[in-house]
Amino acid sequence: MGNSLGKLFKISTFGESHGKGLGVIIDGCPAGLKISAEEIQQQLDRRKPGQSKITTDRAEVDQVQILSGIFDNTTLGTSIGLMIFNKDAKSTAYLNIKDLYRPGHADLTYDARYGFRDWRGGGRASARETAARVAAGAIAGKMNHELTGMQTLAWVEQVHTIKADIDHQTITPEEIEKNIVRCPDSQAAEKMITAITDAKKQGNSLGGIIRFKVDQCPPGLGAPVFDKLTADIAKACMSIPATRSISFGLGEKAAELTGLEHNDPLFLKNNQKIESLDNRAGGILGGISNGESLYGTISFKPTATIMHEQKTVTCNFQETTFKASGRHDPCVLPRAVPIVEAMLNLVLADHLLRYSVAKMSRLKRIFH
């Protein structure tokens, strides 16, 4: 099972939605990084359930416990162990799905792969699992910022058919966090909140789009062919539950342009830095970062759990009907924002260390 991500900055997560808890082991984080439990907790609080009227009612505090690798708020260079215990798991609420496959969920495919599944809220297939990723991403993000000044931001740009009108150049963390849907466009945010609230009342769900950007991303991250930065980011972000697509730069709009329209003319800034005119490529060329802001979008499907009767099949191949109940997000996007940031930071941290190793190898050859 694919529980690990990264080569030099590597994470391995564990735990199930309704098990004892969730955790992550981080290998490769350099010694000497200043990071506190409070900084990790801040990111977990942005992802935790029960934080607003448009999220699930499950009441989890998601309090992180540092088991190893950090002493006196400083990384030791050894394996970092982080643990988040479940406090409000209610496995009995899922007894009615024990012997059937929920439409839109991983029940059927998980059974097809392993011949056995954890029916308590979906087990490892549940988005509850992403808490461990966010905890690890908080450390990766702090390392990236300390080493290069990188700042990774994500926000809700669209819910269902409601689109925000935002100047992507000037987005700040404060603007993103000023409302419960995490959309910097206040007018669009109110419409989004209303739409999500209405969907929840109707027992339905909504999807949408999250936009991301990384400022101060250094040039040279990524490698040709199979280790392109775009490829690794795509794999990491598409591993987030409910994702359906990812794009970089102009994304699908690039298909409508000619080469003359899409290419970015280059110029010298202050006679020492090469930049493009419009950064249509989204900060990555040939799978390698070019030093400009990295940006793109990720689309999310509507939450699979809806409170409407649907046709389905049992594990014994009998047709039946199923109507969901319990505690679920009517729209995953507000809580997915910190997850997207975490996955970006984890990939960038890994590539940053790979770049450093490659740079040292070049220096050794030069001065040997």
Instruction: Give the tokens for residue 120.
Output: 């308590």
User: What pLDDT is recorded for position 236?
Assistant: 98
User: Which pLDDT tens digit goes with each residue over 281-298?
Assistant: 999 999 999 999 999 999
User: Residues 154, 341: contact at Cβ < 8 Å?
Assistant: yes
CA distances from 340 to 62, 246, 328 (A): 18, 11, 20
Report CA Rg, the chain: 21
pLDDT bucket at 155, cuts 50 / 70 / 90: very high
Instruction: Give the tokens for residue 255.
Output: 């298909």
User: Which pLDDT tens digit goes with each residue over 226-278?
Assistant: 999 999 999 999 999 999 999 999 999 999 999 999 999 888 888 777 888 89
User: Which pLDDT tens digit goes with each residue over 311-325?
Assistant: 999 998 999 998 887
Could you give the CA distance from residue 94 to residue 110 in angstroms, rounded to a whole number? 16
Q: For residue 301, give the DSSP letter.
A: P
CA proximity to 147, closest of 69, 25, 34: 34
Percent share of the chain, pLDDT over 70: 96
Average pLDDT, the chain: 92
User: What pLDDT is recorded for position 362?
Assistant: 55
Name, in order, each residue with C-beta under 8 angstroms of 337's C-beta and a sequence gap of 6 or more.
46, 154, 155, 156, 176, 182, 210
pLDDT bucket at 23, cuts 50 / 70 / 90: very high
Helices (H) and strands (E) in the chain, counts: 8, 18
Could you give the CA distance from residue 273 to residue 188 in angstroms, rounded to a whole number? 37
Name, in order, each residue with C-beta under 8 angstroms of 169's C-beta and a sequence gap of 6 or more.
none
Q: Which amino acid is at 289?
A: S
What domain range includes position 207? 4-367
User: Residues 55, 329: contact at Cβ < 8 Å?
Assistant: yes
Q: Is the pTM of this model over 0.85?
A: yes
User: What pLDDT is recorded for position 368?
Assistant: 40
Q: Is the pLDDT of residue 5 over 80?
A: yes
User: What pLDDT is recorded for position 41?
Assistant: 98
Instruction: Give the tokens for residue 36.
Output: 């506190």
In degrees rounded to 5, what are phi and psi of residue 17?
Answer: -55, -45
Q: Which amino acid is at 309?
A: E
Q: Is the pLDDT of residue 364 over 70?
A: no
Q: Name the residue with higher pLDDT: 360 or 27.
A: 27
User: What pLDDT is recorded for position 366?
Assistant: 46
Strand duo 208-215 + 151-159: pairing = antiparallel
To which residue do tokens 């059927």 refer?
A: 108
User: What pLDDT is recorded for position 353?
Assistant: 96
Q: What is the sign, positive or negative, of the torsion defined by CA atoms of 361, 226, 233, 73?
A: negative
Q: Is the pLDDT of residue 192 over 90?
A: yes
User: What pLDDT is recorded for position 367?
Assistant: 42
User: What pLDDT is recorded for position 171?
Assistant: 93
CATH number (domain holding residue 284): 3.60.150.10
Q: Which amino acid is at 200?
A: K
Overall domain count for the chain: 1
Q: What angle do CA 225, 229, 233 make, to 5 degrees?
A: 120
User: What pLDDT is recorded for position 361?
Assistant: 61
CA distances from 327 to 18, 88, 89, 101 (A): 13, 11, 11, 18
User: Which pLDDT tens digit goes with each residue over 84-124?
Assistant: 999 877 766 677 778 888 889 888 888 888 888 887 877 78
